Amino acid sequence: MLGMAILLAFHFLGLLIQQTTSLPIPANVIGLILFTACLFLKIVKLEWVEASAQFLLRHMLLFFIPFVVGTMVYFPIIRESFLAIVFGLVASSLLSLVVTGWLTQWLDKGEKSS
Amino acid sequence: MSGIVDHPLFGITITVGVYALTDLIRRRWWRWLHPLLASSVVLILFLLASGISYESYAAGGDFVSFFLGPATVALGTTIYKNWERVRNRAWAILTGITFGSLFGIASTAFLLWVFGSSGEVLRSMLPKNVTSPVSVEIVALLGGIPSLGAVFTVLAGLLGSVVGPMLARLAGIRADAAIGTAIGTTAHGIGTARLLLESEAQGSVSGFSMAVAAILTPLLFIPMYWWMH
């Protein structure tokens, strides 16, 4: 439970910083940035949080289920702008996937040969 | 009877129950079964057939998705643990994530503008390739509809998770690092979970990329936020 407490504390710290500075960065991301920094600086030890983090990350798909079930409420809006959504979402996602993969593969090859 | 389905315990129990069941079926018999897709379809059909409202379900569903918050923070361990594995090609992967995230946002804006979508749909879809708890927050900052943003994000993730590995193969992307970066940057946690089922090497880079994109994407949106306000 120590791990869960630490993760929640960083999320809360992120919220605190976001509310006081009104930074346009989500609270959970501020928490993630600070938490990552603390891991690299060895302020937080990996073994304190590892079990809880593993559990949360392994079952990420479970936590997404309510969002996907939520699509049932948006079926009308999705049907309305179906074409724009399909092209915006599908084309842009697949293009980005290929572009990212090509770029990384190409850069990585260059790196190895140098 | 109607009272009991409004209790959060109802939504929590059926969500965890259906997930555990589909996960069991996947491990025992059908390896291709997608736990998220299968569970969601079963739950939607169940709610539609039983006439139980989404609101009743969401009372418990919100508890389940709450854990995406600390799970986002937990991504820090993914960055930390995989750093040694990616550090000798960190430059290529980080450039891939940065350019891929920018390309995802720009191409969405361009395509939706071409197809004349409403500003609301546009603002809800721009951050669709970053992990859902982050994209929802960005959509809120931009003034879009967060739940619609969540749906787009999950669809982008499902798409990358279901067709991503095959598309990468067809496009000649064969290196583990490149596949992981491509899927993690564009299909976030859902794509990463899929890669982890098959390859630890691809999954770890994907998790690293998704976690770095979760930090990077909100930063990329800051100029846009300032421009809008």
What is the pLDDT averaged over residues A8-20? 94
Which residue of chain B is at minimal alpha-carbon distance from A74?
B148
Q: What is the pLDDT of residue B117?
A: 83
Determine contact: A75 vs chain B, CB below 8 A: no
Rg for chain B, CA atoms, rounded = 18
**Stretch (H or E) spanning B141:** helix B132-142
Determine contact: A18 vs chain B, CB below 8 A: no
Task: Give me the helix-helix angle, A71-80 and A60-69, nearest 10°.
Answer: 60
Q: Which of A5-19, A78-92, B190-204 has the highest mean pLDDT?
A: A5-19
The residue type of A107 is L
Residue from A38, A74, A85, A97 to probe the interface with B (highest B Cβ count within 10 Å): A97
Tokens coding B14: 């059926």
Residue from B41, B73, B174, B204 to probe the interface with A (highest A Cβ count within 10 Å): B73
Contact A72 B44 (CB under 8 A): yes
* Gap from B98 CA to chain A (nearest CA, Å): 9
Of the pLDDT bands very low, low, confident and very high (cuts 50, 70, 90), residue B27 is confident
On whether the CB atoms of residues B205 and B223 are closer than 8 A, the answer is no
Lowest mean pLDDT of A97-101, B9-13, B28-32, name the range.
B28-32
Contact B159 A101 (CB under 8 A): no
Tens digit of pLDDT for each residue in A38-95? Answer: 999 999 999 999 999 999 988 888 988 888 888 788 788 778 888 888 888 999 999 9
Task: Return d(Cα B54, Cα B1) in angstroms, integer.
Answer: 16
Determine contact: B112 vs chain A, CB below 8 A: yes
Of the pLDDT bands very low, low, confident and very high (cuts 50, 70, 90), residue B118 is confident
Identify the three-state secondary structure at position B109. helix
Tens digit of pLDDT for each residue in B49-74? Answer: 999 999 899 999 999 988 888 988 99
What is the pLDDT averaged over residues B30-38? 80
* Gap from B7 CA to chain A (nearest CA, Å): 15
On whether the CB atoms of residues B73 and B131 are closer than 8 A, the answer is no
On whether the CB atoms of residues A11 and A18 are closer than 8 A, the answer is no
Please report residues of B whose CB lies closer than 8 A to that of A26.
133-134, 137-138, 141, 218
More confident site: B174 or A71: B174
Tens digit of pLDDT for each residue in B78-111? Answer: 899 989 888 888 999 999 999 999 999 999 999 9
Tokens coding B54: 């989404």
Q: Domain ranges in chain B?
A: 2-66, 69-228
* DSSP codes, A61-114: HHHHHHHHHTHHHHHHHHHHTHHHHIIIIIIHHHHHHHHHHHHHHHHHHHHHH-
Q: What is the pLDDT of residue A39?
A: 96
Tens digit of pLDDT for each residue in B124-160? Answer: 999 999 988 899 889 989 998 887 888 899 889 989 9
